[in-house]
Amino acid sequence: MTDSVLDLMKFVLLGLLYVFFARVLWAVWSEVRVPKVANTAPAAPGAAAPTSRRADVPATAGTGSTSTRAATAPMGRSGTDRSIATGSAPSGAVATKLVISQPEHLAGQSHPIADEPTIGRHDDCAIAMADDSFLSGRHARVFVLDDQPMVEDLDSTNGSFHNGARFGGIRLISPGDTLNFGSITVEVR
């Protein structure tokens, strides 16, 4: 081969390498960037349910209920209102504790919701698992608002799941619900 052909092949390879890196950076950027938060007002009866602060996941996804309501929650860390999606809970049934079912070494641990447990990798979290790379430092918290137990995703990188559906923001929880944070699975009782 002549030197000019080899030089041309080098430039083609270099161009392909730049295209590959640009594509990788675009993929990472699209996963890491935070979508814009739309302010949501409390929904009127019969109005459409609001969407969560993540544009690709409806706030009511996975609740298994066709009747939902929205309420205004305390301001989040970013200072914006958060919408609360609620499902169909048995009348009068209120969750009082969280029981860990996964991973095995934490299985059976019980945490009262009244203590407002946090979940994450940091040692100060009530449910802490430092070696779980899918958990954020402070991933989520469970708390009581107006005598209703709630779970809030604290802008975690990998998200939180309520009954198998990813959510952002705040969700009402009921006895029998399942919550997933990284490799931690929690039953609401």
Domain boundaries, the chain: 34-189
pLDDT at 7: 93
User: 10 Å Cβ neighbour count for 8?
Assistant: 12
- In angstroms, the CA 85 to CA 81 distance is 13
pTM for the predicted model, two decimal places: 0.53
Alpha carbon distance 33, 129 (integer Å): 25
| The predicted structure's pLDDT at residue 82 | 47
- The identity of residue 169, as a single letter, is G
CB burial of residue 2 (10 Å; 0-12, 13-18, 19+): exposed
Asked if the model's pLDDT at residue 13 lies above 90, the reply is yes
The CATH number assigned to the domain with range 34-189 reads: 2.60.200.20
Helix, strand, coil percent values for the chain (each to nearest 5): 20, 25, 55
pLDDT digits (tens, 9 = 90+) for 107-160: 998 999 989 999 999 989 999 888 888 898 999 999 999 888 999 999 888 889
**Distance separating alpha carbons of residues 171 and 58, to the nearest angstrom:** 12
